[in-house]
Structure 1
Amino acid sequence: MKLVTKAKHESEDAIRQSTANESFLAQLSFYDPDASPEQDRKNIQHFFRTKFPGLPNLEFANGVYAMSKVIRENWVAIEEFPPYSPAIEEGDEEWDTIFANNKSYRDCFGGAAIGNRYPRWDAKAEKVETLEMAINTCRTTHGEKPLKYGKSKMLGLTAFIAFQSRGMMTNVVIPDDPKALAAYQSGKKFYFSRRGQLNLACYHCHFENAGKRVRANVLGPMLGQTSHWPAYRSKWGSMGSIHRRYKGCNKQVRAKPFTFQSEEYRNLQFFHTYMSNGIPMNGPGARF
């Protein structure tokens, strides 16, 4: 009986949270479930240009480092000997690897400056494909084992590709396909939905409170947030992907995180990155 009672209570809690979420979403002036991706992008970029009127659009690629002179000086000092350099070197070496069938990553991608167009909609598979997934598809197509997500080889490759893509404008394409648009809308709803014991959405930190401090940290704006991954974070003492950051955010609000490359995080990244179309790539990054 205790198990039945517990399940009933958990079900009721889920319904209450879902109802509260719908009420919260309805209050947001720029959350429109019927808006097109381009309408969303224009509205959200206008919001941030209005919130930070003195900040040039291209500077959003630098996140919090564009908002504080002291923080920027610290960042510039770190960039003298960037902690992500070993990852780039490892990725450069891996990029030149010849597979057992005498093919390489070049046979799949051509050049390495491709980071600005991921994630993308895979029409054949009918799902969002991240750069990490594309790398593993390349490997398995040519008879190689897939790399583990979140591990050094994959992070090295994505760091190298990010470095080769620096300065290119984010250019994620969302086709006029019902399933692609549904994935986009799913990611958008994730971003603006409250979750966890703290009942917070991504929105609360990176829209309402962007530029403000939480303890010693300055909260970065959503615009440009996807431009610098993968990144070396001092807190981690290592490189990490944007999905690692999503997992960390979920944990911080005491919500259960999803797995690397889960549908939830891929759809979130699809929406999140599209909002920064027109912002230059600036990865890999160094963050505190």
Structure 2
Amino acid sequence: MKTIKSMLLGAAFAVLSQTGMAAESGFTLETVNPEADRLALQAFYQERFAGVPLEDYVNGIYAIDPPSRKQWDALEEFPPYEFDLEEGEELFNTPFANGKGYADCFENGGIGIRQNYPYWNAEQGSIKTLEQEINECREQNGEQPLKWKKGDVAKISAYMAWTSRGKPFDIKIPENDPRALQAYLDGKKFFYSKRGQLNLSCANCHLQGSRLYIRADLPGPMLGHPTHFPVVRSKWGEIGTLHRRYEGCHRDTRSVPLPPQSDEFRKLEYFQTYMSNGLIVNGPGARK
């Protein structure tokens, strides 16, 4: 535990000035500026990993670590998510007992829409994620909800992401609804807040810790992090959702993990995905 904390503290001091750039605006409603935050994050990575094109950050750690990139390129020749995509497409197109299907619940029949998630729902006053609306679609049509972290919900989400590949993320924060800005701010605070017995924040690993070994792992960069989910992780041996990864990160900090699709995790996804606006959908993906 001391070794991990020492590594991350050393990394923090090494990039302290850059970290200030990565959180350019403040942590109150009066001072927060999402677009300034996004541009500052891009500048942070352009300075830290000079020469890496911004558009390459959809590839996660493989954008900034050449040895890992070679292994990943070889893996992508026979992607481990191919069967999940086939099953996801079949599940997506299988009618419910009432004769309706997922296509009836989503704009454009659910095809090519991943880049719009998560979004602020003004009527409900909350953030809506793709997996959340997949389950809501089921329940509205008399079906049982799916488990959040893996299995069918991840496969359906993966298929919907696949149909959206190449489309740039375009997450909106409505200017006429301060609740949306508050949701973004809550997600930002969550990302930078320390927690757990190891007293680590998301930023410690995925901002200061990008491409710095923590035991045998190289944390990926924050920029582009949500773009390639759902993913098949070698550690999991199966496909899983972004919120499954959030839960795992919490557990790794020796913190009591929040449940997938909790309000806090949905706001975190809102913040993170906004910060990747302009990058393209690259899911599903394969990771270690």
TM over 0.5: yes
Pairing of 1:242-261 with structure 2 (within 5 A): 242-261=242-261
2:48 aligned to 48, 51, 61, which one?
Answer: 51
Structure 1 runs of 4+ with >3 Å offset? none
Aligned to 2:236: 236
The alpha carbon displacement at 1:28 in A equals: 4.4
How far is 1:210 from its partner? 1.2
* Residue-pair matches, total: 263
Amino acid aligned to 1:38: E
Q: Which letter maps to 1:95?
A: F
Q: Output aligned runs, 1:1-288, within 5 Å.
A: 28=20, 30=23, 32-33=26-27, 34-109=31-106, 110-176=109-175, 177-288=177-288
RMSD of aligned C-alpha atoms? 1.7
Aligned to 2:9: none
1:213–1:151 CA distance, 2 compared to 1 (3 A): closer
Question: 166-175 vs 212-221, which deviates more?
Answer: 212-221
CA displacement at 1:70 relative to structure 2: 2.1
1-side partners of 2:194 and 2:254: how far apart? Answer: 11
CA distance in 2, matches of 1:92, 1:243: 21
Taking the aligned partners of 1:266 and 1:60, their CA distance within structure 2 comes to 22
Please give the alpha-carbon distance, in whole angstroms, between the structure 1 residues aligned to 2:215 and 2:58: 23
Q: Which has the larger radius of gyration?
A: 1
| Alpha-carbon distance between aligned partners in 1 of 2:210 and 2:246, rounded to the nearest angstrom | 17
Secondary structure of the 2:286 match is: strand
1:5 counterpart residue number: none
Secondary structure of the residue that 1:149 maps to in structure 2? coil
Contact 2:58 2:279 in 1 (8 A): yes
Structure 1: gaps of 5 or more residues? 1-23
Residue-by-residue CA offset, 1:66-86 (whole Å, 9 max, x unaligned): 223321111111112211112
How far does residue 92 in structure 1 lie from its aligned partner after superposition? 0.3
TM-score between the two structures when normalised by the length of structure 1: 0.87
Alignment partner of 2:283: what SS?
Answer: coil
Instruction: Supply the distance in 2 between the matched residues of 1:69 and 1:40 (Cα, whole angstroms).
Output: 27
